[in-house]
Structure 1
């Protein structure tokens, strides 16, 4: 009886502070998807701006519905063979009590489901940057539906679900280096190998049409990433979330410096696009590692990621794959860097007592990280390529050549990002007393 009383006293109870904190973090992660839309939207040519925005925004709709119906259950339900989860009570998020807690935490299960939903939304949106200018919107919507069901939900269970093979192996992934960034980057590579290059790749100029929009998107991503990373500890009673918050800022700043230094040496200039891309590479690399390393380790990870990702974005020209907005070079490579460097920089004083090579722990954790990295990479690459091929051979994945050349915004959305028809005065702004004939006025307004 005394033991039962002790256990009851030790049982976690709902914390209003942690619940509020996690709701704020969930909102921050949600903001990352519109931020990504602006980041990608500024990087493409004018004729593809709206399509890029829409490819992110549609994920907010589709993945939300699927997550409620079965995604949360597959990702975090009771383990089935170390590959998927399932809990029939969570189908439709039904049979969940309002104050029912998630696992051994002090937050409601509903809050955890909402937080993880935002990760599920962002991950397929990341893939879209590799496919800019050339994918049918309907095909993209179908791809998202299939991809999160076949790839993201199971991989999330592998990495974060109790009983998942990577979880049981001891792979460290604080907030998504494998489940989000390597997963999305490998998927992007698989799809672009199926659908091929843009018309004019390596021939026509394909410069960003709005660097201010890119910087706005990068800023929103950086801001939202604090919720993405610090929130993944599901509270901050022991300071690990605070460590992750600090390391997120430190690694990102270091990556900006690393990328720009490489650019200056290699190309002779510090570019705005380089600063934005460097920030994202640092955010990606610290995502799996930030709870396990010190701020000095975060500086090292950030600089290494900034330099290596800057080098990696040029590989598409060498090997001939058209990764439009460098999803492979930043997210796949950055995710690999951050995940593997845990095996060297883990201090044993953060989220766990695991120590990396530089802190006396040998290479044991490094090999575990390798298993997680390359297991997720191989599965996502192959499964994503197969899904893209099925869609490509059935309803068709790409718009026609004429539509791609003319502009995918007009072809797929019947809109353009910028309307200059009324700029600078002219007949469209002529007052009623103008001598312009009514018929002529109507023609101008149309």
Structure 2
């Protein structure tokens, strides 16, 4: 049996656990923002990914993402059900310091939360059965290919595209898939639905912020100076985005809004994600300010154009992923992690990042829209008007988040 470094192994176990915690955090974040009759429906869509995605990941997901198909679009099934991978095997060969199983688990947590991000866009409009089909197909045809192409040695990786922790792979694909979902299912009947519990949104944001340290710092996949930089960059970008959003909204609306502050924090974390381990600390400040201002503008434009992205998945995650990936192309520094960006004269790398994030956004949008149309041929995607009026908690799940007296 190989000898593993206990510190590095413990760090990766901790990072994996932190990323897992982000999924319940997302459920609380979305659950608090949802209307009072749709709390459980949106939370269940998030939590169910913990089960469905784990089954998929162990059976075919890991193999399709991280085996075979070098330079291609998708891997193969040579490691289906983790066949041929003993639990004693080292990650990356003898030069690494922890078992490959913890890498498998770490990447699985990313797979779990990515499709769950999309759910906030179509809150109280989609049937649970259709969502389960969506959850499976979206991973097979959107998430797995982009993981393989960028993180699994596929065609984009060989082209030189970098994505530290998921600007393209996670946020851009999920955000633009969310926008496609909004266009397909249409607007809510009650667009004036207010958040049922802002304190629940705050709890969710806190869990997401805490978990994001594992999401970004853990993506170095080892413990070194870049790990600590990615950790600090994450917090700095989130903090600057939080205060930027707060100030803009305060000036525009005359009052400092708590939901705006919390939304700004998530925007900052989503935006720094692709760049966290490639840019210096000062760039994280710039990226945080850009996230807080540009994601705010995106949400305002969404409202102006009448897109009913209920919980701002496109404006925060989709545009955050795009802005962050472009920022990586601009601010990457060879002194940080060996990759120079536009400000160091590497315009070629900048263009690769721009093209990659555009490919991810466009493909995810088009495929998601078409996939929902196909799913609708077999099982109805959108709930009936009666079910929507009653609320999905009661009509689909036969449960209520609170006693009637609390409503």
Common fold by TM > 0.5: yes
Q: Does 1:225 align with 2:179?
A: no
What pairs with 1:105-124 in structure 2 (closer than 5 Å)?
A: 105-124=96-115
Matched residue SS, 2:69: strand
Matched residue SS, 2:303: helix
Q: 1:345 offset after TM fit, Å?
A: 1.4
Mapped to 2, the partners of 1:170 and 1:257 lie a distance apart of: 34
What pairs with 1:324-343 in structure 2 (closer than 5 Å)?
A: 324-343=310-329
Alignment match, 2:22? 32
Q: 1:101 offset after TM fit, Å?
A: 1.5
Alignment match, 1:290? 276
Mapped to 1, the partners of 2:294 and 2:193 lie a distance apart of: 23
For each residue in 1:110-151, what CA deviation from the matched residue of structure 2 results, as whole angstroms up to 9, or x when unmatched?
A: 111000000000000000000101111111111101111111
Whether the 8 Å CA contact 2:42–2:123 is kept in 1: the answer is yes
Alignment match, 1:398? 382
Whether the 8 Å CA contact 2:71–2:156 is kept in 1: the answer is no
Mapped to 1, the partners of 2:77 and 2:136 lie a distance apart of: 20
Mapped to 2, the partners of 1:266 and 1:308 lie a distance apart of: 15
Q: 1:265 offset after TM fit, Å?
A: 2.1
Q: Does 1:374 align with 2:358?
A: yes
Matched residue SS, 1:299: helix
Q: Does 1:199 align with 2:186?
A: no
Alignment match, 2:12? 22
What pairs with 1:231-250 in structure 2 (closer than 5 Å)?
A: 231-236=218-223, 238-250=224-236
What pairs with 1:317-356 in structure 2 (closer than 5 Å)?
A: 317-352=303-338, 354-356=339-341
Quote the RMSD (CA, aligned, Å): 1.4
Matched residue SS, 2:335: coil
Whether the 8 Å CA contact 1:285–1:334 is kept in 2: the answer is yes
Q: Does 1:129 align with 2:130?
A: no
Q: 1:391 offset after TM fit, Å?
A: 1.3
Selected match of 2:392 from 408, 430, 433: 408
Mapped to 2, the partners of 1:119 and 1:113 lie a distance apart of: 10
Selected match of 1:213 from 200, 206, 213: 200
Alignment match, 1:92? 81
Q: Does 1:154 align with 2:181?
A: no
For each residue in 1:214-246, what CA deviation from the matched residue of structure 2 results, as whole angstroms up to 9, or x when unmatched?
A: 00000000000000110011111x311111001
Q: Does 1:74 align with 2:61?
A: no
Matched residue SS, 1:79: coil
Q: Does 1:316 align with 2:302?
A: yes
For each residue in 1:132-180, what CA deviation from the matched residue of structure 2 results, as whole angstroms up to 9, or x when unmatched?
A: 0111111111110111111111111011011x12111211210001000
Mapped to 2, the partners of 1:112 and 1:357 lie a distance apart of: 32
TM-score (norm 1): 0.88
Instruction: List alignment gaps of at least 5 residues for structure 2.
Output: none
Whether the 8 Å CA contact 2:30–2:311 is kept in 1: the answer is yes
Mapped to 2, the partners of 1:317 and 1:44 lie a distance apart of: 17
Whether the 8 Å CA contact 1:14–1:99 is kept in 2: the answer is no
Matched residue SS, 1:78: coil
For each residue in 1:57-105, what CA deviation from the matched residue of structure 2 results, as whole angstroms up to 9, or x when unmatched?
A: 01111110000110000011112551011251x2111321122112253
- Higher alpha-carbon deviation: 309-318 or 291-300: 309-318
Aligned residues: 403
Matched residue SS, 2:157: helix
What pairs with 1:160-199 in structure 2 (closer than 5 Å)?
A: 160-162=151-153, 164-199=154-189
Mapped to 1, the partners of 2:181 and 2:296 lie a distance apart of: 22
**CA 1:320/1:420 → structure 2, altered by over 3 Å: closer, same or farther?**
closer
Whether the 8 Å CA contact 1:64–1:121 is kept in 2: the answer is yes
Selected match of 2:135 from 136, 144, 148: 144
Whether the 8 Å CA contact 1:356–1:363 is kept in 2: the answer is yes
Q: Does 1:357 align with 2:342?
A: yes
Matched residue SS, 1:138: helix
Whether the 8 Å CA contact 2:88–2:99 is kept in 1: the answer is yes
Q: Does 1:305 align with 2:295?
A: no
Matched residue SS, 1:325: coil
Q: 1:420 offset after TM fit, Å?
A: 4.5
Q: 1:13 offset after TM fit, Å?
A: 5.9
